Chains A and B, each alone.
Chain A
Amino acid sequence: MSRILLKNKLDDCIAAWRSAGFSVLAPVRRSDLSRFDEVERSTDMALDLVLPERTIKDHFFPQTEPLIKYKIKKHDIDSQEMLPPDMKRVFFGVRPCDASGLAIDDPLFGWDYKDEYWFKRRDNAVIVTIACTASDDFCMCTSVKLDPDSTKGSDVMLRPLQNGNGWQVEALTDRGNALLGPVASFLQEGSEAPAPVASVPVRFDVDRVMEWLADPASFESHFWKEISLRCIGCGSCTFLCPTCHCFDIQDEGDTFSGIRRKNWDSCSFAMFTMHTSGHNPRNTQSTRWRQRIMHKFNYYRGKFGVNSCSGCGRCTRQCPVDMGITETLQAITNLPK
């Protein structure tokens, strides 16, 4: 026996959470784009998507956000912090890869300096994940040692029932348990079997990849030039990635007042490492692509013990020239030992 949430009770849950002060966000299709956005009823949701085009990272680490408002006076500077407001949020229908992405980024935003802008949002959010029963040609969670029903980063796990009527509910954290409180009366006990999770083929050998990347000789390998030849240097793979977290600080305003903002930045851009002097230590696309792969599967794990990839496959799915992490890591896997 396990707890079951039937689809026809979902609207009751949404209403209960909303009246408990949560905003409920779920995948939606709006203005020709699938993404997480606030919903009021279950019919707003697009739960049939393998993955929304945009990640939930956007709601914790927005593409642009104000940090401080400043005013330069004669002998003084007035500044005012612009932290996000307190807001309790439920993210309903997150995919395990996106949820894992948050968990992967947590140590980064908190290891020396605790990034309030990230944690204020993180601490007030409950992640309700739905295990994947479908996948597409680009999904690769199993290749990075996650699964279509990984619980990493989730507070509540929902497993779709075989009969398609609802989900098996499992609270994973205290926050998850607390979220189920207001909706306890809409859950029921049941013994329906969950549907089998999607079978996602392993597309590369991540251990072999990490071993090769860790070899100092690989850094200057001709491999990087060959594999990145067709990269056009846009930032779509980094901006759609659930774990990419690089940002740039920009002051917007005039001479005496303005707003300091935190904007996404991408290692794919030529401007990313450009020095004021004009020197650019990563002056070719191959060195930038190498950085992206090295960072995800070598440097990041060196610092935080995990790879900075949750296997969502968006980088390949959306690439204008059909590149992406999968192809590169497959090629590394196939390199002669």
Chain B
Amino acid sequence: MSEPFEPKIVAFVCTYCTYAGADLAGTSRMKYASNVRIVRLPCTGRISPMFILKALQKGADGVLVSGCHPGDCHFAQGNYHARRRWTVFRALLAFTGIPEQRIRFSWISAAEGAKFAELINTLTEDIRKLGPFEQYHELQKVIETQSTY
């Protein structure tokens, strides 16, 4: 029996809410899947769609983007702007065939350590079921080989 597939997941989170939520999960000794790599940013408004593309390019099987609930943004409006951007970017990715299940968005406050842990676990399981994002990673593998013609 081969090893179960361990997905690589990159989480882009805002420092004020979701990162603090992840911190709370940790200090509360909640256990969650170790498949996630957290990248902390000042605000969801700072999370450029380029980050998501870069994560996929570098081999991520799934991406989570998360920040403060609407109304709770440290910078008042950052997450509202981000939300519009996500709506559009998500539609674009879906249209080009990048499965919606692999790119997820959430609101997690500093108090929601349990929600964070649970979400990471669900997400990891969902992506484990989908399997590695071979279609995309294949594009990178091709680059690393010799020319065929």
Chains A and B touch (C-beta atoms under 8 A apart): yes
A23 and chain B: residue at smallest CB distance: B149
Question: Please, which residues of chain B bring their CB within 8 A of the CB of A117?
Answer: 147
Q: Tell me, in angstroms, the Cα distance from A83 to B144 when the chains sit together.
A: 13
B144 touches A259 (CB 8 A): yes
Does B139 lie at the interface of the complex (its beta carbon under 8 Å from any beta carbon of A)? no
Q: In this complex, which of B143, B148, B149 has the most chain A Cβ atoms within 10 angstroms of its Cβ?
A: B149
Write the nearest CB–CB distance from B140 to chain A, whole angstroms: 10
A252 touches B147 (CB 8 A): no
A83 touches B143 (CB 8 A): no
A58 and chain B: residue at smallest CB distance: B149
Question: Please, which residues of chain A bring their CB within 8 A of the CB of B146?
Answer: 66, 82-85
- Within the complex, which residue of A62, A69, A85 is in contact with B144, where a contact is CB–CB below 8 Å? A69
Q: Tell me, in angstroms, the Cα distance from A82 to B148 when the chains sit together.
A: 10
Question: Please, which residues of chain B bring their CB within 8 A of the CB of A121?
Answer: 149
A65 and chain B: residue at smallest CB distance: B147
Does A87 lie at the interface of the complex (its beta carbon under 8 Å from any beta carbon of B)? yes
A66 touches B147 (CB 8 A): yes
Contact with B along A55-86 (1 / 0, CB 8 A): 00001001001100100000000000011110
- Considering only residues 112-149 of chain B, those with a C-beta below 8 Å from chain A are 143-149
- Within the complex, which residue of A59, A82, A83, A252 is in contact with B149, where a contact is CB–CB below 8 Å? A59
Q: Tell me, in angstroms, the Cα distance from A85 to B146 when the chains sit together.
A: 8
Task: Tell me the dominant secondary structure on chain A's binding face.
Answer: mixed
Q: Tell me, in angstroms, the Cα distance from A89 to B147 when the chains sit together.
A: 15
Write the nearest CB–CB distance from B119 to chain A, whole angstroms: 29
B149 touches A87 (CB 8 A): yes
- Considering only residues 64-116 of chain A, those with a C-beta below 8 Å from chain B are 65-66, 69, 82-85, 87, 89
Question: Please, which residues of chain A bring their CB within 8 A of the CB of B148?
Answer: 84-85
Contact with B along A159-197 (1 / 0, CB 8 A): 000000000000000000000000000000000000000
A84 touches B144 (CB 8 A): no
B143 touches A84 (CB 8 A): no
Question: Please, which residues of chain B bring their CB within 8 A of the CB of A85?
Answer: 146-148
Question: Please, which residues of chain B bring their CB within 8 A of the CB of A84?
Answer: 146-149
Question: Please, which residues of chain A bring their CB within 8 A of the CB of B144?
Answer: 66, 69, 259
B148 and chain A: residue at smallest CB distance: A85
A64 and chain B: residue at smallest CB distance: B143
B143 touches A82 (CB 8 A): no
Write the nearest CB–CB distance from B60 to chain A, whole angstroms: 15
- Considering only residues 215-252 of chain A, those with a C-beta below 8 Å from chain B are 252
Contact with B along A245-287 (1 / 0, CB 8 A): 0000000100000010000000000000000000000000000
Q: Tell me, in angstroms, the Cα distance from A69 to B146 when the chains sit together.
A: 10
Contact with B along A122-160 (1 / 0, CB 8 A): 000000000000000000000000000000000000000
- Within the complex, which residue of B143, B145, B149 is in contact with A62, where a contact is CB–CB below 8 Å? B149
Question: Please, which residues of chain B bring their CB within 8 A of the CB of A259?
Answer: 143-144
Write the nearest CB–CB distance from B61 to chain A, whole angstroms: 19
Q: Tell me, in angstroms, the Cα distance from A166 to B50 when the chains sit together.
A: 54
Q: Tell me, in angstroms, the Cα distance from A320 to B9 when the chains sit together.
A: 42
Q: Tell me, in angstroms, the Cα distance from A251 to B149 when the chains sit together.
A: 21
Question: Please, which residues of chain A bring their CB within 8 A of the CB of B143?
Answer: 66, 252, 259
Q: Tell me, in angstroms, the Cα distance from A117 to B148 when the chains sit together.
A: 12
Question: Please, which residues of chain B bring their CB within 8 A of the CB of A59?
Answer: 149
A82 and chain B: residue at smallest CB distance: B146
Q: Tell me, in angstroms, the Cα distance from A59 to B148 when the chains sit together.
A: 10
B interface residues with partner A (beta carbon < 8 Å): 143-149
Q: 11 pairs across A/B with beta carbons < 8 Å?
A: A62-B147, A62-B149, A66-B143, A66-B147, A69-B144, A82-B147, A83-B146, A84-B147, A85-B147, A87-B149, A259-B144
